[in-house]
């Protein structure tokens, strides 16, 4: 992402960024007003409803982002800028100079917040109507009958869980009437039941779109969360790293998911959580409501992305969508200079009035 912005500046080309995350955090924090009173900083584990202590925590996490930006990430790009650009530059300014930002998010998923005219939300752009499953997989899914199927995958970066955890999960699955499809490349769990199919790979989107799927056990990656929303399948989230907890927290706040930390995964906790998702119909209803909201758009996310990329190509950029705020000193942005001027003017006016009144009082005494 950063090198791409540098290359675009060097070649003097329009820039469209297809990212949500930047080197120092979430892209909104360099693009749009981000009041910390109700916008949680990624990694803070907070929602948009914060009490006083949580706002203190949020401010602390934001200070970490600023530290990373100023002292860790910034110097790396500053050296690159000195080498290739006369007068230098900084990574934040280069990112703010992007003509369009394609964000893999939307306000069905994200907490409401201020945004900018050059931000286009394409969350779920990869989603489309599901395709028929391979014959053997369809046969297994249909064999579940009225109980349905649970699918579990923790993404491509994690092929297996610790053996003890995998055994606990497998033992819970073995006791359930549902069939289970589990992407797991580690050692075969010793407690694996006959109802569980272990696979190296699964057609995730096609499975999520199948009416037999009841629960999606997932790590909470952006793509998986958006696909679960699109197909309306409630999620049991086991976040591992990066943005996964924050993603799952947004679904949990909407009553469409439940989170269980990996350290807390044992037979009792896992069984309790998955049964809650299976038998409490509100989770599925809430997720299907999100699915309905996600699909109710005038253009599909992919069509929006295509339109705006072509828009930038047709007009050789979109500088008219960039705010002047990026070029303002911080004190002007917050109108501190105006406030100081007004406070000074009021102080002078009151002091003059007070002095004049004292002068009149002294004159009358004489």
Residue 76 has a pLDDT of 83
* pLDDT tens digits, one per residue of 308-326: 999 999 999 999 999 999 9
* pLDDT tens digits, one per residue of 198-257: 999 999 999 999 999 999 999 999 999 999 999 999 999 999 988 899 999 999 999 999
What are the residues whose beta carbons fall under 8 Å from the beta carbon of 36, sequence distance 6 or more? Answer: 55, 58, 59, 62
Residue 365 has a pLDDT of 67
Residue 366 has pLDDT above 80, yes or no: no
Please measure the distance between the N-terminal and C-terminal CA atoms of the chain and give it in whole angstroms. Answer: 78
- Contact assessment for residue 111 and residue 34, using Cβ atoms and an 8 Å cutoff: no
Residue 303 has a pLDDT of 96
* pLDDT tens digits, one per residue of 271-291: 999 999 999 999 999 999 999
Q: Is the domain of 271 the same as that of 156?
A: yes
- 256 falls within a domain: yes
Q: Is the domain of 290 the same as that of 347?
A: no
- 41 falls within a domain: yes
Q: Is the domain of 276 the same as that of 141?
A: yes
Q: Is the domain of 148 the same as that of 260?
A: yes
Q: Is the domain of 145 the same as that of 114?
A: no
Domain that holds residue 174: 135-294
- Contact assessment for residue 166 and residue 173, using Cβ atoms and an 8 Å cutoff: no
Q: Is the domain of 66 the same as that of 89?
A: yes
pLDDT band at 3 (very low <50, low <70, confident <90, very high): confident
Residue 1 has pLDDT above 80, yes or no: no
Residue 169: give its domain's CATH number. Answer: 3.40.50.2000
Q: Is the domain of 320 the same as that of 338?
A: no
Q: Is the domain of 66 the same as that of 190?
A: no
- 130 falls within a domain: no
Question: Per the structure, how many domains does the chain have?
Answer: 3
- 204 falls within a domain: yes
**78-81: which pairs have CB atoms within 8 A and are 24 or more residues apart?**
80/6, 81/6
- 170 falls within a domain: yes
Q: Average the pLDDT over each of 21-25, 50-54, 301-305 and give the range with the smallest value.
A: 21-25
Residue 107 has pLDDT above 90, yes or no: yes
Q: Is the domain of 113 the same as that of 230?
A: no
- 182 falls within a domain: yes
pLDDT band at 81 (very low <50, low <70, confident <90, very high): confident
């Amino acid at each position: 992402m950063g090198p791409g912005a540098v290359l675009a500046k060097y070649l003097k080309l329009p820039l469209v960024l297809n990212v949500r995350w930047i080197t120092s955090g979430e892209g909104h924090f360099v693009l749009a007003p981000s009041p910390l009173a109700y916008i949680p900083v990624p990694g803070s584990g907070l929602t948009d409803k914060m009490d006083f202590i949580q706002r203190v925590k949020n401010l602390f996490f934001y200070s970490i982002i600023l530290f990373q930006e100023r002292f860790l990430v910034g110097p790396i790009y500053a050296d690159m800028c000195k080498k290739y650009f006369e007068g230098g530059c900084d990574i934040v300014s280069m990112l703010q100079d992007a003509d369009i930002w394609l964000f893999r998010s939307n306000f069905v998923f994200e907490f409401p917040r201020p945004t900018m005219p050059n931000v286009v939300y394409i969350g779920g752009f990869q989603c489309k109507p599901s395709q028929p499953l391979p014959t053997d997989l369809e046969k297994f899914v249909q064999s579940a009958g009225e109980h349905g199927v649970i699918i579990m995958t923790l993404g491509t970066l994690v092929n297996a869980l610790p053996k003890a955890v995998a055994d606990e999960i497998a033992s819970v699955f073995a006791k359930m009437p549902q069939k289970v499809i589990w992407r797991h490349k580690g050692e075969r769990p010793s407690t694996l039941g006959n109802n569980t199919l272990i696979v190296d790979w699964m057609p995730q989107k096609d499975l999520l779109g199948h009416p037999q799927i009841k629960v999606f056990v997932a790590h909470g990656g952006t793509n998986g969360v958006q696909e679960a929303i699109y197909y309306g399948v409630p999620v049991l989230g086991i976040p591992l790293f990066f943005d996964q907890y924050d993603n799952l927290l947004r679904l949990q706040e909407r009553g469409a998911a439940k989170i269980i930390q990996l350290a807390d995964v044992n037979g009792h906790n896992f069984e309790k959580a998955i049964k809650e998702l299976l038998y409490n119909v509100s989770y599925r209803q809430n997720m299907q409501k999100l699915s309905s909201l996600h699909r109710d758009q005038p253009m599909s996310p992919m069509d929006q992305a295509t339109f705006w990329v072509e828009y930038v190509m047709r007009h050789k950029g979109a500088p008219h969508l960039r705010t002047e705020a990026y070029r303002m000193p911080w004190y002007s942005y917050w109108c501190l200079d105006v406030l100081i001027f007004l406070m000074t003017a009021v102080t002078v006016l009151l002091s003059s009035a007070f002095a004049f009144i004292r002068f009149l009082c002294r004159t009358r005494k004489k």
